């Protein structure tokens, strides 16, 4: 049977903005099932080198198999703010380009044992790696009502957070992701066509248990240290909380004279891409280029 992988978002734009040179060294810090990585390796055409990173061991194994025909690639099961550990292992000090395609893959939405899918009856975990002890199950079953409401509001911008938290408290124990998704669907008044009512709450819990925003905040300044002159950082984000961190993180690097933000206007997918791939609809791409000694106000 043919294998269907996650469709890489803004692929053409990613390759163009990484400005790939055949002999260059690149890092895909969110390798996932390897969609962007495969396209980068094809462009490198057997020369250059690619380092693939993902915090999820399981998905990295899929990428390893998919990319096994390439020799100029290595894989690291790390969080991307630990990118320097991979470079140390490879004895590489600087790289020509870094791509971060944030969030989760279709693989995570289909997988029925991690509690990320709304139909998962086996789990309510939501962790992408096992470095954190706290799971989404712990949050919904052990946290106080106001703590749950704050998480849903802060990390999901869920306007009905208080109401959902109240219902969670009175329906405990919440055993699995399906139980939680059904509860939210029952409680929520606001409806958006084609979007599951639990989308914002699931996003909030996932971001919270995986410390996604904190990791992203510390990752951006590290990139400026390891990019070579004219090296590019390309970041694709999928919601406003991530995009805000990327936008201000890149602006700060520019202010510090470490380079320039190439995307004064954010890059968005075309209508054609969104029509073919629904997951691209909220994507936003921002690009930074390292240029030493630029004076910026």
Ligand X SMILES: C[S@@+](CC[C@H](N)C(=O)[O-])C[C@H]1O[C@@H](n2cnc3c(N)ncnc32)[C@H](O)[C@@H]1O
Contacts with ligand X, residue ranges (CB under 6 A): 6, 8, 29-30, 32-36, 53-56, 59, 79-80, 101, 103-105, 128, 215
| CB closer to ligand X, 69 vs 264 | 69
Handedness of CA 176, 179, 185, 186 (dihedral sign): negative
Q: How far is the CB of 34 from ligand X (least distance, A)?
A: 5
CA distances from 262 to 116, 144, 265 (A): 34, 44, 8
Q: How far is the CB of 40 from ligand X (least distance, A)?
A: 10
| CB closer to ligand X, 183 vs 269 | 269
| CB closer to ligand X, 79 vs 239 | 79
Q: How far is the CB of 110 from ligand X (least distance, A)?
A: 13
ω into residue 173 within 30 of 0, thus cis? yes
| CB closer to ligand X, 128 vs 168 | 128
Rg (CA), the chain: 20
| CB closer to ligand X, 126 vs 139 | 126
Which residue has the CB atom at the shortest distance from ligand X? 35
| CB closer to ligand X, 101 vs 120 | 101
Query: 196 phi and psi, to 5 degrees?
Result: -65, 135
| CB closer to ligand X, 109 vs 122 | 109
Q: How far is the CB of 280 from ligand X (least distance, A)?
A: 11
- The tokens 């990390």 sit on which residue? 155
Q: How far apart, in whole angstroms, are the C-alpha atoms of residue 171 and residue 165?
A: 10
Q: How far is the CB of 159 from ligand X (least distance, A)?
A: 26
Q: How far is the CB of 269 from ligand X (least distance, A)?
A: 13
Q: How far is the CB of 51 from ligand X (least distance, A)?
A: 12
């Amino acid at each position: 049977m043919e294998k269907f992988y996650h469709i890489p978002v803004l692929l053409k734009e990613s390759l163009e903005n990484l400005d790939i040179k055949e002999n260059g060294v690149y890092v895909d810090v969110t390798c996932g099932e390897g969609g962007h990585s495969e396209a980068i390796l094809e462009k490198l055409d057997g020369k250059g080198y690619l380092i693939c990173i993902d915090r999820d061991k399981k998905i990295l194994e899929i990428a390893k198999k998919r990319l096994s025909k390439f020799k100029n690639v290595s894989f690291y099961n790390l969080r991307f703010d630990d990118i320097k550990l991979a470079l140390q292992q490879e004895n590489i000090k600087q790289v020509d380009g870094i791509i971060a395609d944030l969030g989760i893959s279709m693989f995570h939405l289909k997988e029925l044992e991690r509690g990320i899918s709304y139909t998962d009856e086996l789990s309510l975990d939501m962790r992408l790696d096992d470095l954190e002890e706290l799971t989404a199950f712990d949050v919904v079953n052990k946290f106080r009502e106001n703590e749950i409401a704050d998480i849903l509001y802060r990390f999901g911008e869920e306007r009905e957070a208080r109401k959902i938290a109240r219902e969670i408290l009175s329906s405990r124990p919440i055993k699995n992701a399906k139980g939680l998704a059904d509860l939210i669907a029952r409680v929520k008044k606001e409806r958006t066509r084609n979007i599951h009512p639990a989308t914002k709450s699931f996003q909030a819990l996932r971001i919270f248990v995986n410390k996604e925003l904190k990791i992203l905040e510390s990752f951006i300044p590290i990139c400026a240290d390891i990019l070579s002159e004219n090296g590019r950082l390309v970041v694709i984000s999928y919601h406003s909380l991530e995009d805000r961190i990327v936008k201000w993180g890149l602006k700060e690097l520019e202010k510090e004279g470490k380079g320039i933000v190439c995307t004064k206007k954010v890059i968005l997918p075309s209508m054609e891409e969104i029509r073919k791939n629904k997951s691209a609809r909220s994507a936003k791409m921002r690009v930074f280029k390292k240029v030493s000694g630029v004076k910026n106000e």
